Structure 1
Amino acid sequence: MAASNKWLMSSVAYYLDFFTVPLFVVAALYLAPFEPWLALSGLLAWTLVEYSAHRFLFHSLYRREHWTHHLDVLAYIGVSSWKTSSTFAVLLLLAWSTGLTSEFIGAVTGYFVYISLHYVMHRPGHWAYAFIPGLVANHDLHHRKGIEKNFGVSSPLWDHVFGTYIHAKHVNG
């Protein structure tokens, strides 16, 4: 399969989410009271969105673009921050108008955890790398050619639920 440059982006577009996502959380906290249990439900919802997008979009509809990331894990490949920020702006307005700002906070915090963990997983020299060995092992298996498993980056929860989790000891060589 030929690699695609469709998702290749500038370093600014790649890193911008690390700055904009916390701003969305602050904006949501300003707009409405924070309810921790509802934020946890938003976080749980995010993990399902992450798993589903990775499994059903990135490994089917956008397979060629996503495979480019598998080939060059340090390249600036992904969904541009301009797209995610635009989406989050619309979702924040919807959440605010429907009283779901705490769920929004949980979901975008989950996204922030996801992009942070994914960044660290591909950089063994990063100080936080040593703190996530299980997630790194899961993700390393996911990147092996022929293994269509371990779609959850920030959590293996949905891989366990849907039977797509594989442990390193079950993989030959």
Structure 2
Amino acid sequence: MAASNKWLMSSAAYYLDFFTVPLFVVLALCIAPFHLGQALAGLLAWSLVEYLVHRFLFHSLYRREHWTHHLDVLAFIGISSWKTSSAYAGLLVLAWLTGLTSVFIGVIVGYFFYISLHYVMHRPEHWAYRFVSGLATNHDLHHRKGIEKNFGVSSPLWDHVFGTYVRVQALNTVEENT
């Protein structure tokens, strides 16, 4: 499959979410009371959205663009922070109007966790890599050509629920027996 430059961006556009997401959290905390249960529900909702988007959009509709990331994991490839920040601004207004600001906080904290983990997973020299090596192993397996498994980056929860989780040891056993 040919690579695509459609999602290639500047370093500023790539890193902007690392600054805007914490600002959205602070803003949300300033405009409404915090409810831990709602935030946890939002975090769980984010993990499901992450899984579904990765599995059904990035590996089908946007396969070519996503495959570019698989080919060059250190390139500044992804959805522009300008787009995600615009979407989160709209979601914050909607959450505030509906009384679900803490759900919004959980969702974007989940997103922040996802982008942070994904960044570290592709940089074994990073100081935090040792804390995520198990998740990184799952994600590295996902990057192998022909492996359509392990779509959850920040958690394997939904891979277990939907039967798309595979361990490296299990895959190696299957490969040895074929």
TM-score class, shorter: over 0.9
Corresponding residue number in structure 2 for 1:70: 70
Q: In the alignment, does 2:144 pair up with 1:144?
A: yes
Residue 93 (structure 1) aligns with: 93
Q: Tell me the percent identity.
A: 79
Trace 1:27-66 onto structure 2 (pairs within 5 A): 27-66=27-66
Q: Quote the residue 1:171 is aligned against.
A: 171
The residue number in structure 1 matching 2:112 is 112
Counterparts of 2:53 and 2:78, CA distance in 1: 12
Distance 2:80 2:23 in 1: 17
Residue of structure 2 equivalent to 1:121: 121
- Residue in 2 aligned with 1:133? 133
Instruction: Measure the CA separation in 1 of the matches of 2:68 and 2:132.
Output: 24
Distance in 1, matches of 2:115 and 2:80, equals 12
Deviation readout 1:62-114 (Å, 9 max, x if unpaired)? 00000000000000000000000000000000000000000000000000000
Shift of 1:134: 1.1
Cα displacement (A) at 1:47:
0.1
Number of residue pairs aligned between Structure 1 and Structure 2:
173
Write out per-residue CA displacement over residues 121-169 of structure 1, whole angstroms, 9 at most, x where no aligned residue: 0000100000011101100000000000000000000000000000001
What amino acid sits opposite 2:154 in the alignment?
S
Q: Distance in 1 between matches of 2:134 and 2:47?
A: 17
CA–CA distance in 1 between the matches of 2:132 and 2:81?
A: 25
SS in 2 for 1:78: coil
TM-score of the superposed pair, with normalisation by structure 1: 0.99
SS of 2:54's partner is helix
Runs of 4+ in 1 over 6 A off after TM superposition: none
> What's the secondary structure of 1:154's corresponding residue?
coil
1:30-67, CA deviations, whole angstroms, 9 ceiling, x for partnerless residues?
01000011100000000000000000000000000000
Tell me the TM-score normalized by structure 2.
0.96
CA distance in 1, matches of 2:171, 2:72: 23
Secondary structure, aligned partner of 1:171? helix
State the distance in 1 between where 2:31 and 2:110 align.
19
